[in-house]
Structure 1
Amino acid sequence: MGSMKISDVMDESRIDLKLKGKTKDEIIEEMVDLFDRSGVLCDREQFKKDVYFRESEGVTGMGDGLAIPHGKSKGVEKTCIAIGRSQTPIEWESLDDKPIEVFVMMAVKDTDKSELVSLLSQIAIALCDENVTKKLFVTESPSEVIDLFK
């Protein structure tokens, strides 16, 4: 356990660099769709509920236009990550009270508790690198997004 690498749990099918949502709820819905369409959820509604539960526990907006919403859930069959970028800044609770444009969402199988901590820390380390974050805001290529986390 604890050995998952971010790039191993990412897939181009779960990267959308043109999210249409204009509110937090619409963005969460679109991000959950990315997981659902790629077949990693066994219960979409349960996962969505768990994402909202996590949101109610504390801020997932890291500042600088980035958020890491996530849910540990029985509704998840396979722990993985989706990445989305909105076309307009989204009002979202964040550490610097600024709106969010890039969302790194994790769907974590409820039995993968140690993976959650490991993946979160790997994401946080990657997002501390200014080169990574700059590219996340501008790249149009899902494969380049995955490369940023390798």
Structure 2
Amino acid sequence: MELLTAEHVMLDSEARGKRALITELAHMLTSIDPDRVMEVVMAREQLGSTGIGHGVAIPHGRMPDLNLPILALARHPEGVDFDSIDSEPVHIAVLLLVPDSDDRQHLELLAQLARTLQQKSIRDEVMAADSSEKIAAIFSSRVRLS
């Protein structure tokens, strides 16, 4: 099962801030109420920014009615302020939502995403990709359900 599909990839976000970027990501997931996504993800952001450095953020949260994990990715060419740990603007934001009941899977997927996006070559590939399909393919072999 693909966690990130081309339909959930935004090539050129025009968001002007963290909340706007997360809102764009939430609205890509048409099967989930974007207001609920915002509630869950922004509550997590209150605990500390999910901007992990190197121009990457992984906003995430647990959704009670979700059956399987789901990802959405937004690429922001100019970068947006995300209160990241290195104070750098975020160019790649990956929204991760997991079922409420599965802590292990949540942490495992978060770790896979972080490991993948810590690699400069992967970040460069994502920024250079000319289609949503190419970006989804970059993640298909690297971020998997166990």
Whether the TM-score (by the shorter chain) exceeds 0.5 is yes
Give a deviation string over 1:71-98, Cα, whole Å, max 9, x none: 1122545321111012432111111111
The aligned amino acid for 2:136 is I
Identity of aligned residues (%): 24
The aligned amino acid for 1:107 is L
- CA displacement at 1:111 relative to structure 2: 1.6
Tell me whether 1:33 sits opposite 2:23 in the alignment.
Answer: no
The aligned amino acid for 2:16 is K
Give a deviation string over 1:22-81, Cα, whole Å, max 9, x none: 11121111100011x2x2x2x432221110011011121111111111111225453211
Aligned residue in 2 for 1:16:
10
The aligned amino acid for 1:20 is E
Pick the aligned partner of 1:91 from 60, 72, 81: 81
- Which shows bigger deviation, 73-82 or 140-149? 73-82
Moved over 4 A (4+): none
Tell me whether 1:49 sits opposite 2:49 in the alignment.
Answer: no
Aligned length in residues: 140
TM-score, normalization by structure 1: 0.85
- CA displacement at 1:144 relative to structure 2: 1.4
Aligned residue in 2 for 1:4:
none
| Partner SS, residue 109 of structure 2 | helix
| Partner SS, residue 97 of structure 1 | coil
TM-score, normalization by structure 2: 0.87
| Partner SS, residue 18 of structure 1 | coil
Is contact 1:22–1:88 with CA below 8 Å preserved after alignment?
Answer: no
| Partner SS, residue 82 of structure 2 | coil
Is contact 2:49–2:83 with CA below 8 Å preserved after alignment?
Answer: yes
Is contact 2:4–2:72 with CA below 8 Å preserved after alignment?
Answer: yes
Aligned residue in 2 for 1:125:
115
Gaps of 5+ in 2: 142-146
Q: Give the alignment's Cα RMSD to 1 decimal.
A: 1.6
